[in-house]
Structure 1
Amino acid sequence: METSVHPGFPLPEAHQCPFGPAALSFRRALPVQKVRCPSGIDAWLVTRAAEIRELLGDAERFSNRPAPNTHLLTHIVPDSPAADGDFTRMDGEAHQRFRRLFGPELMSRANLTRYEPVIQRIVDNRIDSLAALDTPANLHEHFAQPVVAAVLAELFGIPPHHSEIIERTTSRALDTRATPEQTLEEQLPLIELMYGLVTERRRSPGDDLLSKMLIRADGCDDPISDLELMAMAIILLVAGGDSTVSAFLSAIQALWDNPAQLAALRDAPTAIPLATEELIRYAAISLGGLRMATRRTELGDRTIESGDLIAAFLPAATWDPAHFPDPEHLDITRSGSGHLAFGYGAHLCPGRGLARMEIRIMLETILRRIPTLRPAGSPDERRYRTHNVVLGPAVLPAAWDFVAPA
Structure 2
Amino acid sequence: MKFPFDELTPNQLSFAERDERYRQLHDWSEPTYRHNSGLRMVWRYDDVRELMEAASPGISNAKSLEPLVGFGRIAANPRAVGHLCRHLLPLPAKATADLTDDILHKRVWDTLAGPGGHFTVPRAQRPQRIKDLTEHFHHALGTERDVSDRTLDVTSLSIDYAARIVGAAVGLPPADWPHVAIWSGAQSGLLGRRMRGRELAEAVGGLGRLFTVSADAIASGGRDRTDGLPGRLCAARIPRRVAVSAVANSLAAGVHTVSGSIQQGLQRLLNNPDRQWWHLLADEASTAHVAAKVLQLDPGLVAWKRHVVDSLTLRSGTALSPGPVLVMCAAANRDPRAFPNPLDLHGAGKLPLTFGFGKHVCPGKQLAQLAVEVFLRELHALAPAARLVPARQRTRARPSDLLFSGADIVIVTG
Smaller-chain TM-score range? 0.7 to 0.9
The corresponding residue for 1:221 is none
Q: Deviation per CA, 1:356-400, whole angstroms, max 9, x where unpaired? A: 11011111111112222221125685867432221120x211111
* CA–CA separation in structure 2 for the residues paired with 1:65 and 1:213: 22
* CA–CA separation in structure 1 for the residues paired with 2:364 and 2:31: 29
* CA–CA separation in structure 2 for the residues paired with 1:100 and 1:379: 47
Out of 269, 282, 288, the residue aligned to residue 297 of structure 2 is 282
State whether residues 287 and 313 of structure 1, in contact with CA within 8 Å, keep that contact through their aligned partners in structure 2: yes
Q: Deviation per CA, 1:100-123, whole angstroms, max 9, x where unpaired? A: 332212235258634322111111
Deviation at 1:137, TM superposition (A): 2.9
Question: Do structure 1's residue 184 and structure 2's residue 199 form an aligned pair?
Answer: no
Q: Deviation per CA, 1:283-316, whole angstroms, max 9, x where unpaired? A: 13323322233444213444334x3333211121
Question: Do structure 1's residue 63 and structure 2's residue 59 form an aligned pair?
Answer: yes
Kindly tell me: are residues 111 and 75 of structure 1, through their superposed partners in 2, closer, same or farther at Cα, counting changes over 3 Å?
farther
Kindly tell me: are residues 368 and 86 of structure 1, through their superposed partners in 2, closer, same or farther at Cα, counting changes over 3 Å?
same
Give the 5 Å matches for 1:62-211. 62-68=58-64, 70=66, 73-75=68-70, 83-91=92-100, 92-103=102-113, 104-110=117-123, 113=126, 114-129=128-143, 130=145, 132=147, 134-141=149-156, 143-175=157-189, 176-178=193-195, 181-211=201-231
Give the SS at the match of 2:97. helix
* CA–CA separation in structure 1 for the residues paired with 2:95 and 2:386: 41
Out of 192, 195, 213, the residue aligned to residue 233 of structure 2 is 213
Structure 1: give runs of 5+ residues left out of the alignment: 1-6, 218-223, 402-406
Q: Deviation per CA, 1:55-108, whole angstroms, max 9, x where unpaired? A: 2234224433443365x821458xxx9841333222333422322332212235
* CA–CA separation in structure 1 for the residues paired with 2:224 and 2:57: 43
* CA–CA separation in structure 1 for the residues paired with 2:152 and 2:269: 18
Deviation at 1:215, TM superposition (A): 1.0
* CA–CA separation in structure 1 for the residues paired with 2:179 and 2:413: 29
State whether residues 148 and 244 of structure 1, in contact with CA within 8 Å, keep that contact through their aligned partners in structure 2: yes
* CA–CA separation in structure 2 for the residues paired with 1:112 and 1:233: 22
The letter of the residue matching 2:280 is L
Pairwise CA RMSD:
2.9
State whether residues 156 and 209 of structure 1, in contact with CA within 8 Å, keep that contact through their aligned partners in structure 2: yes
Question: Under a length normalisation based on structure 1, what TM-score does the superposition of the two structures give?
Answer: 0.82
State whether residues 184 and 255 of structure 2, in contact with CA within 8 Å, keep that contact through their aligned partners in structure 1: yes
Deviation at 1:144, TM superposition (A): 0.8
State whether residues 341 and 348 of structure 2, in contact with CA within 8 Å, keep that contact through their aligned partners in structure 1: no
Give the SS at the match of 1:291. strand
* CA–CA separation in structure 2 for the residues paired with 1:287 and 1:69: 15
The corresponding residue for 2:26 is 27
Question: Do structure 1's residue 51 and structure 2's residue 47 form an aligned pair?
Answer: yes
* CA–CA separation in structure 2 for the residues paired with 1:29 and 1:97: 41
Question: Under a length normalisation based on structure 2, what TM-score does the superposition of the two structures give?
Answer: 0.81
Give the 5 Å matches for 1:256-405. 256-258=270-272, 259-262=274-277, 264-266=279-281, 268-299=283-314, 300-305=316-321, 307-327=322-342, 329-331=343-345, 333-334=346-347, 338-378=351-391, 385-388=398-401, 389-393=403-407, 395-401=408-414
State whether residues 277 and 335 of structure 1, in contact with CA within 8 Å, keep that contact through their aligned partners in structure 2: no
The letter of the residue matching 2:351 is G
Give the SS at the match of 1:172. helix
* CA–CA separation in structure 2 for the residues paired with 1:392 and 1:74: 21
The corresponding residue for 1:3 is none
